[in-house]
Homo-oligomer: A and B are copies of this chain.
Amino acid sequence: MTIRDRAPDQLPPPPWQRRPRPASRRRRDPITVDAIVETALRLLDSDGLDRLSMRRVADELDTGAASLYWHVGSKDGLLDLIFDRVIGEHEMPEPQGARWKEQIKEVARAQRQAILRHRDLIAVSLGRVPMGPNALRFSEGVLAILRAGGVPDRLAVTGHLLLIATVNGFTLDEVSGPRPDDAQPDDPQPDDPQRGGKEASAPPSADAVAGYLASLPADQFPNLSAVARYFGDDDPDQRFDLLIDLFVEGLAQRAALAAPPR
């Protein structure tokens, strides 16, 4: 993953020959697909998906948007590359047979963390069938663990697909759902004066949600208002662990049924 893989074999032109650039910019790096991907991912992390544009990436690299198209084909192609880069952020463990249940849980947790490190990325996964090199390595690793654990092939494929769907689905809800109660509930935010009110107004805090649910008319929503308080102190980490536990245990039961242990 070398960001600069071309030797700096030619000096930049002297200042008086340079076209006037938009004020202060570091010297332009050579354009590489790695540089593009890295820049785009940084922009995605810092400014969010709906501020990620080809023009802004290009600007950051000190070029025009058109120049990117020679390297990545389209914005969609760029998103593919970003997605695969993130999938590859952790390595798959060697399968250890009997420890397969723990290993699947580890992989699931690692994948959730990778997504959480790049929150808006989950939205990118939407129209995509991940088939980049890292996605393939991920699938290979999961299948290796399941088969080493004695899960029959057909069930292993299904389980592998369900694992991906489950982790993605949970993390999707987590990322777009109410925030755990960290930030103060009504900080007006400096609010970028540039754009209208586009930023998809920050989600409410878990406590705000719990409060709202508790305030609902009890005759129309008896259950929701009765249990409202539990919405407040729900812990995503715990909830995720429960889900993965249910999933892996259930899968193990089916595996034992389909191919009873020798």
Contacts and interface: CB of A to CB of B under 8 A. Distances in A.
A172 B168 contact: yes
Taking each of A74, A139, A230, A254, which has the highest tally of chain B beta carbons within 10 Å of its own beta carbon? A230
A196 B69 CA distance: 13
Copies of the polypeptide in the assembly: 2
A173 to B, nearest CB: 4
Contact of A147 (B127, B153, B223): B223
A136 B239 contact: no
Contacts of A224: 136, 139-140, 143
Nearest to A162: B243
A238 to B, nearest CB: 8
Nearest to A225: B140
Contact of A176 (B126, B196, B239, B242): B126
29 contacts: A74-B196, A76-B201, A123-B123, A126-B172, A127-B200, A129-B177, A129-B204, A129-B209, A140-B224, A143-B223, A143-B227, A153-B226, A153-B230, A154-B230, A157-B231, A157-B234, A158-B230, A158-B242, A161-B239, A162-B242, A165-B170, A166-B166, A166-B243, A168-B172, A243-B247, A246-B247, A246-B251, A247-B250, A249-B250
